[in-house]
Structures are given as C-alpha cells and as structure tokens.
Structure 1
Amino acid sequence: MDRLIYTAMTGARHILDQQATTSNNLANATTTGFRAQLDAFRAVPVVSEGLATRTFVVDSTVGSDYRAGAMETTGRALDVAIRGNGWFSVQSTDGSEAYTRAGAFKVSENGLLQTAGGLTLQGENGPIAIPPNTNVAIGADGTVSGIDQNQLQGGPTNVIGRLKLVNPDVAGLVRGDDGLFRQQSGLPANPDPTVRVADGVLEGSNVNPVDAMVNMISLARSFDTQMSLLKNAENNAAKATQILALN
C-alpha cells in the first residue's frame, strides 16, 4: 500500500513538471535556434531503518534535444545560421560567456553586433564593433566584413572581426534559466575553425508541434492514471479498516 501511494503521488507531481516542460517546448516551436528540453524519470526506493516499502519517482535527468532545426532563407545580411554542429558565443547578462544557435543579429545603438535579444556577440578578440554607415557581411568562416555606405559600388571591403564559433561536447553543456547554454565547468570554450555558417538564413526551432501535442495528451492521461491509483489506495485502506473493525 505504501509503495502504491508514494509512487503514485510523486509520479503525479513529476508528470506536472514534465507537462510544464512540454508546454514550454510547444510555446517555443517558432523560436529561432531553440532546442527542445527533455525530461526522464526513474523510481528510487526510500532507504530507512524500516522495510523498503516506499518508492519515489524522481527527475533523474534534464537534457536537451540537440538536433538541428529547419533552415529558413530570409536574405537578410545579419541573419546567420550554423551549418552542422557549433554555437555562437555571446555575453550573457551576468557577464559570463554563453552559447546559442539563434543567429538573428542586429547592430546596437553603440555599434556592437548583438543578438535579437540584445546580447553582445563575442568575437575571437572580444565584442565586434561595427563602424557607422557600414554595410555588414558575414562570411562562411564567421568573418565580419564591412563596406562604407559612402563608397561607390565596388569599394574596398574591410575586415572588422570574426565571430567566436565554438563546438564544445554537448555532453558537457547545461541550459540556463535564460535559455542559453554553458559549459558545466564554467570555463569558456575554445574557438573551432571548422564551424561554418550560412548568411541570409535562420535556423528554426527543432520542436515538432505535433509530437509535443501528442505528448501533452499522453501526459494528461498518465496523470489521470496516477490519480486513479491514489483513489484505489484510499478505497483499499477504507475496506481494510472495515475488516479490522469487524474483527
């Protein structure tokens, strides 16, 4: 009886957690460069001085789906997508280095190359500053070049900097509450010269909306099952109490 109650109780609680994760994935089905979150649960016996009759369900791992999303051609010079494996390096709000696949860039009021969310992109030599009145182009190796808008067509191209493109082992990455990824060690990753990008393209989310909806329905049914188990446990306890009272 104890095993049933504890398993059903903790199972229902963690199903709600997984439902929240699935809802977040579904809400980000159109977010550029989003990586779906994954949950996994397992049963753990409660070890105490008594018999091992109680078992909890715990969230054993929280990971991410690192498969690439669909590519969408935009034709915008500051829209960039990574081909294959790799990440863009950005400076997070706390000043640490973090990684993202969202390649919709812009030039801030201060002339810094930033993400659409306002995070400063990291170059191999620090933040990349774009001179005023400059048309920006990003090469396949992440090189950022610019042409002065005041120059006639065919004017000289100036190399401004190079994006810091990294490719750390995904097993050592963790997702922060801000949606950015960081290395578990807390150390910045080294640039990887083999990472390539495509300009005028954005990578979409790798969330499959249909799969997410089916998963939400399955979780809702699982939650109902856990509630039914708790109800059965209550009925069994009531019947047992009646029998003991008769005796």
Structure 2
Amino acid sequence: MQALKIAATGMSAQQMRVDVTANNISNMSTTGYNARRADFADLHYQQLRSPGAIVAGTGEVLPAGVQIGLGVRPAAVAMEIKQGSMRPTGGELDIAIQGNGYFEIEMPDGTSAYTRDGAFKLTGDGQIVTSEGYPLMPDITVPEEAREVVINADGTVFARFADQVQGQQIGTITLAGFINEKGLEAIGDNLFVETEASGNPVIGEPGLNGRGTLRQGFLEESSVDVVAEITELIEAQRGYELNARVMTAADEMLSATTRIR
C-alpha cells in the first residue's frame, strides 16, 4: 500500500507551504520585501496500464491507462513581483523605486548585489551606504559642508550649500533590471545576487527602458497581503490535516489486513 508514503509527501508539502507563509508574515514590515509562494508538482506515476497500449488478443487500443500517482514534490519557491505601497518618511536618503529595478550594492568581496531597500545612510566620510554599511554603486559621496541632498526622479543627485543658490551635482543613482527577476538568489539583508536564471543585469538611468523612477523621502513597504497569507495558512493547515487522515485510514486498513486469519 503506497498511501502512507503518498500522504507523507503531502504532509511535507503542506509543511513547506506553512514555512513559506510564516516567512512572509514575519517580513510584513521589511522594506521592499516581495512575498514568496511555494509551487508544487506531482511525482512520477506507477504505470500499471499505459494509455494507448494494445490489448493482447484483441488488438484494441486502450483509451485510458491505469496510472497510480506517487505523491507531490516542491517545484519552486518564487517571488511574487508586486509593487509595495509608498510610505512617506521625509528622510533625504530614503529612496523608493516606483516601478521596476534594483539598486546596485557593492559587497565586501567586490561583487555586486541588488536590493529594493532604499533606506540609505551616510558614513563618517559622507559615502552613501545601506543599513548594513555596503556602499551604493556607483559610489556617491556627500560633501561635509552640504546642507541638503536632493535626488531627482531620474537619479541625479545634487548637494546644496549655504553659499550657493543652485545645487551642485555630485552623482547619479542607476538602477539594474533583470529579464527574470524571479531567478535572483536571495542572500539575506534584503539583498539579491544574479544567477544564470535571472540573466545579467541591465544597468541604466531610472525612467528609461522599462526601469522605474525614484522618489526621495519615501520607502517601499512590503508587498505582503496579510489577509491572503492568513487564508494561505488556513488552507495549508487543512491540507495537512487531510493528509494526516489519509495516513490514519491507511494504517487502519493495514491493521485490519494483519488481523485476518
């Protein structure tokens, strides 16, 4: 009897579904976080009679076969690409992306990572960095005597000084786009790295070639829909319970079989 093993794969799948949902709910306040969804696929089938087979003796073609499924397996846990709402903060280094794109960040080993978390800070040298201290790329340094930083929608960054009417451009913030954002690999700290599935980053000016624009003084909130997550959690719990009942029923049937004399 395969029912015990099949039900076990179903319970494992629903447990993963709960784990993914729990991670979404725990990140409901994480800046720029996109909810994840677990996708599943059925396992191989035990072919007792293949569809289209020729019946021995009659030569008839079977219109349908006998295929016994062997359960379910995880296929992917992918991001749901969805724009989060804009939360006004008033911070001059708080930058939200309205539309597609990622900020490029330089990691300690010199490689690039990507994020939609625009809660930037300044170092003691005036360099713009993430909350973890990773520099924004291309590198932008705010002069110590600057009294205000202005960031336009197209990424140009200006510093205003006390003795000047016009701001002085000190750099440009670019955005990276990917042909398959769901192929990015999350590494924590709101950061992603490129993979073969995501494709190479296409970096350029905000507002061009499908890239979003920047909004200074805003942060993008998590795109997690709490009501949808609670619904997902209830469905996963019910699915787990049903698979557990299948295991109980299969166990009782096996028990009855062993009692036959």
Label 1:21 to 1:110 Cα distance change in 2 as closer, same or farther (>3 A).
Answer: farther
Shift of 1:121: 1.0
Shift of 1:208: 0.6
Amino acid at match of 1:5: L
Percent identical among aligned pairs is 28
1:190 aligns with 2:207: no
Offset from partner CA, 1:1-28 (integer Å, 9 cap, x none): 21x2222111211211221111111111
1:1-247 alignment runs, 5 A limit? 1-2=1-2, 4-45=3-44, 55-123=70-138, 127-134=139-146, 135-148=148-161, 151-152=162-163, 154-171=164-181, 173-178=183-188, 179-185=190-196, 189-193=201-205, 194=208, 195=211, 196-243=213-260, 246=261
- Distance (Å, rounded) in 2 between the aligned partners of 1:120 and 1:96: 11
Shift of 1:180: 2.2
Task: Flag as ranges the 4+ runs of structure 1 deviating above 3 A.
Answer: 51-54, 92-95
Give the structure with the larger helix fraction: 1
2:59 — aligned with what? none
Shift of 1:241: 1.4
When the two structures are aligned, how many residues end up with a matched partner? 235
Amino acid at match of 1:219: A
- Distance (Å, rounded) in 2 between the aligned partners of 1:223 and 1:85: 37
Please tell me whether the aligned partners of residues 46 and 68 of structure 2 are also in contact (alpha carbons under 8 angstroms): no
Gaps (5+ residues) in structure 1? none
Specify the structure having the higher radius of gyration (Cα): 2
Label 1:172 to 1:215 Cα distance change in 2 as closer, same or farther (>3 A).
Answer: closer
Name which of structure 1's ranges 229-238 and 106-115 shifts more when overlaid on structure 2: 106-115
Offset from partner CA, 1:69-126 (integer Å, 9 cap, x none): 1111222211111121111111245542122111111112332211233322112xxx
TM-score, normalised with respect to structure 2: 0.81
- Distance (Å, rounded) in 2 between the aligned partners of 1:42 and 1:188: 28
TM-score, normalised with respect to structure 1: 0.86
Please tell me whether the aligned partners of residues 45 and 52 of structure 1 are also in contact (alpha carbons under 8 angstroms): no
Gaps (5+ residues) in structure 2? 48-65
Please tell me whether the aligned partners of residues 173 and 181 of structure 1 are also in contact (alpha carbons under 8 angstroms): no
- Distance (Å, rounded) in 2 between the aligned partners of 1:94 and 1:21: 30
- Distance (Å, rounded) in 1 between the aligned partners of 2:144 and 2:111: 28
Label 1:122 to 1:47 Cα distance change in 2 as closer, same or farther (>3 A).
Answer: farther
Give the 3-state SS of the residue equivalent to 2:126 in structure 1. coil
Shift of 1:170: 2.8
- Distance (Å, rounded) in 2 between the aligned partners of 1:113 and 1:188: 24
Shift of 1:172: 6.1
